[in-house]
Structure 1
Amino acid sequence: MALSLLLLAHCDGSPGLDGGAETDAGSVDAALPDAALLDAGPLDAGPDAGMDAAGSLSSGVVTYDRRPISSAGLGAATPDPVGGATVVLIADGLEVARAQTDADGRYSFVEEPSGEVQVRVLADSARPPIAVTDFAGNVYAFSGGVGALHITEPDFAGALALLDTQRDGLRFAAEAFSRAAEFPPLEIRWERGRTTPGGTSYATGDELWILGGPTDTDEYDTPVLLHELGHYLQWVYEFSDVPDGDPHAGADTDPRLAWNEGWPSFFSAAARGDGSYRDSVGGVTAIDLDLGSLPFSGEYVGRASAPMSQRLSEWLIAGSLYHLYTSGDLTTQRARSFAPLTQWLDDPGHDRGAFGRDFVDFLDGYLCVSSGADRARIEQHVVRDRRFPYDLSPTCPKPGTPRLEQSIDPPRVFLPGTVLRDQRGRSLRVIQIAR
């Protein structure tokens, strides 16, 4: 079986993922150079792989090559099912129906159309809403016959790895934040081996740019990807400030930047249930840390004689958060670790360390929201072991105390000729409706 590799246009004013019957292979697909066709290899999924409970023939399973990361570097590729991916059933070039793969990568349709039938798999998830695109905003996709599809081509296997990782991360976040509503749509911009002048991954609101270089393999670096997802969550819940400075927060960093970088590393570990933080380049592990056993020296500790607003390392923060998170019953500690983000740091009146939200403000919220829980652990690990001079003296408001509300700027006045733009800075095409 051969798979056709596609990139689907996903930008304002062009046929998108919901183009219906008009979004056929000829209208929006852009064939990749030197990768127009892919041999899927043997499709040994068993004699019943194409059957669902209702007996439909329009079913199958989607797997892709994934490379696990360890201290030794990236391992050999192994088949992994992709959960939550969008699968489009196409007959004679027209869309018939859509489905989502389950946790085992399986999909099925009740429709059994006639004619030339195939499926198109998108690196796109409806719940939670995630799309993996190239730098131009085209969604990664591939087409093939109905049944078992295994993706080995690096570009598309990498896109599915990105989708799989971030989908798992958002599902964990929904539980940790007790969130019932869907998250805002997330777009992940990535092209294997390509970067920008900045040369590092970063988040801009509802977009994550996963960047590296010709030999970087961030698509398989799960700890790094979930760290970047942590920045997206900081945007969603607004519990962090981003001061000017190098995004690679290390030792002697502005305390707000250290918090802005340290929390995502903690989130990455919590979401995986694993304190390791690894980043590979060229298949070799370049960063290999364990948040559960960081050294008690160097950049991993503070300065006991300095003020609480001192410059410090993101790793001191990430390790301390992970220590609290893993110090007791997981359900209890998860609630204590995430509640301050939405019940304390969202109030501008709670600012006691450096100006802006930082590690001190989180610790204040941890103690106040949880009625002093883990005070002894904070004193032992943060103050004594990590030598950060937190004073354990937050000002916890009495029940019923009104919150301090941020002032609201007056509405902007748009003068004639002003170019209106959306939140990503794209100009708007405005259509005037006659009355």
Structure 2
Amino acid sequence: MTEKPDWTGRRLEVEIGPVAHGGHCVARYEGRVVFVRHALPGEVVVVEVTEDGGGGFCRADAVEVRTPAPGRVTPPCPLADMARGKDRCGGCDWQHADPATQRELKAAVVAEQLQRIAGIERSVEVEELPGGPLRWRTRARLAVDRRGRPGFRAHRSHRVIPAEDCPITVADAVPEVTGRNWRPGAELALAADAEGELHVTAIDHKPQRRRGRPVARQVRGGGVAREAAAGRPFEVSGQGFWQVHVRAPETFTEVVSAMAAVPRGAVAWDLYGGVGLFTAPLAEQAGPAGSVLLVESSQRAVEDAVGNLRDLPQVSFRAGSVEEVLDDGSLDDPDVVVLDPPRKGAGRRVVAGITERRPSRIVHVACDPAALARDLGLYREGGYRLAQLRAFDAFPMTHHVECIALLEPDE
């Protein structure tokens, strides 16, 4: 039996190939694939292997750049400095690339996933959101190390890298919690709302009481974030879902509304509707004679949505999984469906539950290009084609990208 190789800790000089989904690029060495972080296509770098399971690939970090790519820059965050080696923060993937290069890399990933998974050949442009690549993040989660110091985890590790600030998070949010010690092993959830209030929740995963159940304690702010988008106020639980980029709610609402174009008096569904961000403009398009159904699995989010949309009687609410709600044969067939599923995507059961109802338009919001491509393939099986796609750099410095797709029935 051939012994499996283990290159962990070994240093290799490699030429970097194309970008891949997940915040790394692909290189090859002695017939094996090396997934390299902190490098750019076309560079010659020295890497250190960080993980090797002995198969056809291993993972590595760039530790020295011999031939830099034109898009390489000095990372704006000291925790992303190459000199830190394994002690780099794992939260950002592309701090070593200028913003235009980051968007080009993300566009290449989206296009590759569409082609490889869904068989869709399409050029992709990733659009910049207003505000630049720093200080855009309104939500953050920090971990606390064994000495009580808050910070961020290293890549693919539970190890905590202590931090003083985070340049992609809105100003003054992270320093509010890094200047003191916390219970070791806890997590800190931060939410900076539209009114400038910072909400901090300490989550204790090992409480002395109530074994096995994390205990959340509000330590700053009222626990209810006050947001705004599309000319409306929204209230969201401090730990509830809201788009993290400060300009994303407004931008995404405009795009979703334009793609949905709900006719007056029509029926629309907003699946995975959260606190009603997209439901509100759908209801205004449908008008008093129309109807919009919001479906959301989080009971707290549904309660928030009911309060946020109390002035829109044409909206109804269902708390429960989308899969189970779609099995209800008493629902009115929709003219338009909007869905914003979690990172794993919608999946076969949900897509089939939508396409079987034959809406005239489906607007699918996705934060993972691989899951989007899989779902687009399922829509095609159900008789729908990709009519329009827009991609946004809603997570600068990271590998994440937000896509909004419009699907229409095949002619």
TM-score, structure 2 length as denominator? 0.27
**Higher Rg:** 1
TM-score, structure 1 length as denominator? 0.26
Structure richer in strand, relative to its length: 2
Structure richer in helix, relative to its length: 1
